[in-house]
Amino acid sequence: MPILKTVVLFVATALAEIIGCYLPYLWLRQGRSAWLLIPAAVALAAFAWLLTLHPTAAGRVYAAYGGVYIPVALAWLWLIDDVKPQAADLGGVALCLLGMAVIMFAPRG
């Protein structure tokens, strides 16, 4: 699977997971409508489905996905929660993306 396609798929997966978890948060912590649980369930189903689209072993996909989830979550923190990531956050993101790249794109024999 080409690198760009893999990364885009991981980003879409992360957004589905974050939305699926953020909507119940809004209901439970901010008193929003319980109707938010319906799109949350759809988003979490999409999250699970998106993870199945990778052609490699599931465990490898889950491990590498975590490396993309973290920068997407920090982007969400910045764009949605209006909290700017700090230098340590960005350093952690770099390490996570490096780990994801090693897991997903290292030559296999």
- Cα R_g (the chain), whole angstroms: 15
Question: To which residue do tokens 């319980």 refer?
Answer: 34
CA angle 79, 41, 58 (to 5 degrees): 85
User: What pTM was computed for the model?
Assistant: 0.86
pLDDT digits (tens, 9 = 90+) for 8-64: 999 999 999 999 999 999 999 999 999 999 999 999 999 999 989 988 888 888 888
Given this model, what pLDDT does residue 48 score? 93
Query: What residue spans define the domains of the chain?
Result: 3-105
Task: Round to whole Å and give the CA distance between 65 and 57.
Answer: 12
**Alpha carbon distance 79, 9 (integer Å):** 20
Contact (Cβ atoms closer than 8 angstroms) between residue 69 and residue 7: no
Give the per-residue pLDDT at 1.
65
